[in-house]
Amino acid sequence: MAQYIVKRIAVAFPLLVVISFLTFLLNQLSPMDPVEVVLHAQGVPTITEELIAKTRTELGMDRPFLVQYWDWLQNCLQLDFGNSYVTGKPVWSLLGPALLNTLQLTIVSSLIIIILSLGLGVACALREGKWLDFSVRGLSFLLTSMPAYWLASLMIWYFAVKLDLLPTNGMDSYSSFILPVAVIVIGYAGIYFRTIRSSMLSNLNEDYVLYGRANGLSEYRITLQVLRNSLQVAVSVFGLAIPVILGSTVVVENIFAWPGLGTLTVNSILGRDFPIIQAYVLILAVAFVLFNTVSDLINAVMNPQLRREF
């Protein structure tokens, strides 16, 4: 197992380096001179060549590209992503609180999605072709086809405006979580539940299920074995659920005025605040790689055959 862990880390490490390099390259790919972007973001009325040259030296942008990248990477490892172009504050002082707020929304949503997906997926697989299977699948197709912004607006109109039951912005109380979490859960639970259902049906058609029934095993024991084998797919799917949801809260956060990463990033894009955008992209990319690696390790623990094939 130790050898497998070392191999997975060895694969993930160069990928993280490539991701960090491409993230740093974002600033250089801007059609405008990065120094001019900084000065425009700071609201400088008149930009002269002398001011550009002075600012370039102050920001260290006159050094070779690879030297800039190496210094930036070293600072990122210490959670120092530089200073905001707009406010001048350290990026992490803005990104840290926003990340915590988004993580709260993401974790609550992910837990509900996992529980619903597993429960509905197993129930529908065991009752394939019955009314429960048809009704749940039909409802899931209907709900997941709704755009998040439209569904969020509809829920705000009904639960906040018409019934006056729930708040529509901020995170002042536990009730503030209900609407944004509901929108995220509706958007993803239907997708993940179908994956679990498909995995369960695939295992229910395996020869070992027929052999178990022929030998008089109870349906309860057979279902537990099928569920255990299906969990390998579930771990892979849910291993990426958190980073996927983390990166897709932009619409929900902006509609419900949630003070998280999505809101901060949209404002940064509009203000061309590249240090914050770079940090956001890097954090999401690293989250995808890390969660994917962790899910592979969990699957390797559950299935030793994977360790031998890697």
pLDDT at 57 over 70: yes
pLDDT at 307 over 60: no
Give the single-character DSSP code of 121: H
Confidence of residue 147 (pLDDT cuts 50, 70, 90): confident
The dihedral formed by the CA atoms of 32, 36, 40 and 46, expressed in degrees to the nearest 10:
-130
Give the pLDDT of residue 266: 86
Give percent of the chain above pLDDT 70.
93
How far, in Å, CA of 215 to CA of 8, rounded? Answer: 40
CA 113 to chain centre: 13
231-242: average pLDDT: 76
129-145: average pLDDT: 85
Cα separations (Å) of 188 from 111, 138, 201, 204, 235?
12, 15, 20, 25, 16
Give percent of the chain above pLDDT 90.
2
Residue 63 phi/psi, 5° resolution? -85, 165
Residue 230 one-letter amino acid? S
Q: What is the full DSSP assignment across 183-202?
A: HHHHHHHHHHHHHHHHHHHH
pLDDT at 262 over 80: yes
**Mean pLDDT lowest among 60-64, 106-110, 248-252, 288-292:** 60-64
Give the pLDDT of residue 160: 86
pLDDT at 131 over 80: yes
How far, in Å, CA of 310 to CA of 307, rounded? Answer: 5
128-133: average pLDDT: 84
Residue 48 phi/psi, 5° resolution? -110, 165
20-24: average pLDDT: 87
Helix, strand, coil in percent for the chain, rounding step 5: 80, 0, 20
As a whole number, the mean pLDDT across the chain is: 82
Give the pLDDT of residue 305: 64
Closest residue by Cα to residue 184 from 252, 232, 235, 280: 252
pLDDT at 163 over 80: yes
Give the pLDDT of residue 247: 80
pLDDT at 202 over 80: yes
Confidence of residue 7 (pLDDT cuts 50, 70, 90): confident
pLDDT at 194 over 70: yes
User: Is the backbone of residue 258 left (phi > 0), alpha (psi -120 to 50) or beta?
Assistant: beta
Answer with the residue of higher pLDDT: 32 or 189. 189
87-115: average pLDDT: 88
How far, in Å, CA of 52 to CA of 263, rounded? Answer: 30
